Amino acid sequence: SQQGEEDPQALSIQEGENATMNCSYKTSINNLQWYRQNSGRGLVHLILIRSNEREKHSGRLRVTLDTSKKSSSLLITASRAADTASYFCATDPLIQGAQKLVFGQGTRLTINP
């Protein structure tokens, strides 16, 4: 079953603008991971943020985590056409022995030139 809900489901912005995607989840987690998927291809791992972390950066990516609200956000700054893809959050639930990621529905991001 899907734990995460992502919002918006689709986002279209102009090149150079910032894109923000949100993810909410239901149960306590070990960590939350963000992935990018270009059309019909495999998932590229972007960032992992642990439950005791509040913010992480990687290049133009910034991820925040609010465990009290059970939510995370992914910010892509200075977007480029190559950022056009679907973005998924995946939670690693805090269930002993589980170690199984549960994926959100994804946000389809389109960067217009």
Partner 1 sequence: SAVISQKPSRDICQRGTSLTIQCQVDSQVTMMFWYRQQPGQSLTLIATANQGSEATYESGFVIDKFPISRPNLTFSTLTVSNMSPEDSSIYLCSARYSGYSYNEQFFGPGTRLTVL
Residue among 14, 42, 59, 82 that touches partner 1 (CB under 8 A): 42
Query: Least distance to partner 1 from the beta carbon of 21, Å?
Result: 14
- Residue 48: HSE in the Cβ half-sphere, 13 Å Cα cutoff: 7
Q: Which stretch binds partner 1 (CB under 8 A): 10-18, 42-50, 63-71, 75-83?
A: 42-50
DSSP H/E element including 102: strand 102-103
What is the distance between the alpha carbons of residues 10 and 7, in angstroms, rounded to a whole number? 8
**Backbone φ, ψ for residue 81 (5° rounding):** -55, -35
Query: Least distance to partner 1 from the beta carbon of 45, Å?
Result: 6
Rule CB under 8 A: which residues touch partner 1? 2, 30-31, 33, 35, 40-45, 48, 50, 88, 90, 92, 99-106
